[in-house]
Amino acid sequence: MNIYQELGLQRIINASGRMTALGVSVSAKETAESLKEASQQFVDISALMDAAGERIASYTGGEDACPTTGAAAGIAIAVAGCIAKGSIDITLRLPDSEGLPNEVIIQKGHCINFGAPVTQMIALGGGKPVEVGFANFTHENNLVETINENTAAIMYVKSHHCIQKGMLSLEKMIEIAKEANVPIIVDAAAEEDLEKYISNGADLVTYSGSKAIEGPVSGFITGRADLIASCKLQYNGIGRPMKIGKEGIIGLLTALDIYINKDIESIREEELKTLELIKNNIESIDGIHCSIEKDQAGRDIHRLRISIDQKKTGMNIYQLIDALTTGEISIRTRNHLANLGMIEIDPRPLLEGDAEEIINKFKRIFNHNE
Ligand SMILES: *Cc1c(COP(=O)(O)O)cnc(C)c1O
């Protein structure tokens, strides 16, 4: 019985991805142990923030870094940092930014909801989101002509949630931002590459520590030293209700260390084997079709796609989802293609023994005995 089942909750098998609704990711044993150890000692927090920032920056190529509770806090704090520009007076009155340069320009196709709206996180930091372009298209001049003396920053969101066509590229936006001498903030919450956006010339980049990095609830902002100093200052203001504790910071550092040294290729190979195991065991069920598909956004991730023949099984895809999620063990698949009659199994979040549980559950649902 796991610690959540002791509370009367279902055991969750996450076959859907890094979902905040399911606890995002699980930590490696070393990360969990470092969290525990950090929670049992005192430390000078400001010195810890500085030391952690230095360590994080060594992984990103940024001049410095500021730990956060996540990428959402990273957006709010980065915006506040760009508005305050190191001023304690401004820091103490944000998110009230009246009379100050506070406009944060963002392309319409980037105004996503990742679980909360990006524009709301901008407002939380005292920014006034100014949307440019159209849902499916931005012209260079839409951005150029919107920059004025009230512009505090330009925001670029790198996410599969964003419109992927017709948007200005990050390179173009950085070029325009540099020309206008306005800082550019990149939300790279779930991205795997920790150096790319800094090396492209972004001023601040924010990451989630619990997504690709698989750390505890945490995150960071990395980039220009003067702006990072202003971000750290925000913990005396709007950052306070988003404070990251000593445990979170240490857990993040341990997770980063593991992440940097990870052999992604062999992990991907293992994941493919897991998918093949599930496929080989459930495709013999009459009316079930399985295929292994590559990620649609072009990443090197494979997923098992499953569809069912309603005539043969007497069940439609929604009834299958329902059957998978109910009971003591709840299997959560990727369901955004359900309207097309398909569900997917993402191998990345599967824990030891999960693949066997999935196979058993399919056999039970379809009364399949061999
Ligand atoms: C997940 C996500 C966030 C929020 O990250 P947290 O670490 O959960 O705060 C922000 N932006 C994008 C694009 C995301 O995918």
Residue 370, pLDDT above cutoff 60: no
Q: What is the pLDDT of residues 208-238, one digit of tens each?
A: 999 999 999 999 999 999 999 999 999 999 9
Amino acid 369: pLDDT:
62
Closest CA to 349 of 271, 269, 266, 253: 271
Give the atom of ligand 1 at the shortest distance from the alpha carbon of 162: 13
Give the atom of ligand 1 at the shortest distance from the alpha carbon of 121: 10
- Burial bucket for residue 72 (CB in 10 Å: 0-12, 13-18, 19+): buried
Query: Is residue 219 helix, strand or coil?
Result: strand
190 Cα to the center of ligand 1, angstroms: 7
Q: What is the pLDDT of residues 66-97, one digit of tens each?
A: 999 999 999 999 999 999 999 999 999 999 99
For the segment 257-279, the average pLDDT, to the nearest whole number, is 95
Amino acid 289: pLDDT:
96
Q: 59 with 213: CB under 8 angstroms?
A: no
Give the atom of ligand 1 at the shortest distance from the alpha carbon of 70: 7
| Model confidence band, residue 174 (pLDDT cutoffs 50, 70, 90) | very high
* Mean pLDDT of the residues in the chain: 96
Lookup result for tokens 């991205």 = 191
For the segment 13-21, the average pLDDT, to the nearest whole number, is 94
Q: How far apart are CA 248 and CA 244, in angstroms?
A: 6
Q: What is the pLDDT of residues 303-340, one digit of tens each?
A: 999 999 999 999 999 999 999 999 999 999 999 999 99
Q: How far apart are CA 319 and CA 127, in angstroms?
A: 45
Q: How far apart are CA 138 and CA 107, in angstroms?
A: 7
Q: 53 with 64: CB under 8 angstroms?
A: yes
75 Cα to the center of ligand 1, angstroms: 9
Q: What is the pLDDT of residues 118-170, one digit of tens each?
A: 999 999 999 999 999 999 999 999 999 999 999 999 999 999 899 999 999 99
- Burial bucket for residue 142 (CB in 10 Å: 0-12, 13-18, 19+): middle
Give the atom of ligand 1 at the shortest distance from the alpha carbon of 209: 7
DSSP state of 334: B
Amino acid 300: pLDDT:
81
% of the chain residues with pLDDT over 90: 95
47 sits in which H/E element: helix 45-60
Pocket test for ligand 1, best of 20, 107, 113, 114 (most atoms within 8 A of CB): 114
pTM for the full predicted model = 0.94
Amino acid 295: pLDDT:
84
DSSP state of 329: E
Residue 280, pLDDT above cutoff 90: yes
25 Cα to the center of ligand 1, angstroms: 13
Q: Determine whether the shortest distance from the Cβ of 70 to ligand 1 is under 6 A.
A: yes
Amino acid 296: pLDDT:
75
Query: Is residue 101 helix, strand or coil?
Result: coil
Amino acid 298: pLDDT:
72
What is the residue with the minimal CA distance to atom 12 of ligand 1?
189
Amino acid 207: pLDDT:
98
% of the chain residues with pLDDT over 70: 99
Q: 197 with 184: CB under 8 angstroms?
A: no
Residue 193, pLDDT above cutoff 70: yes
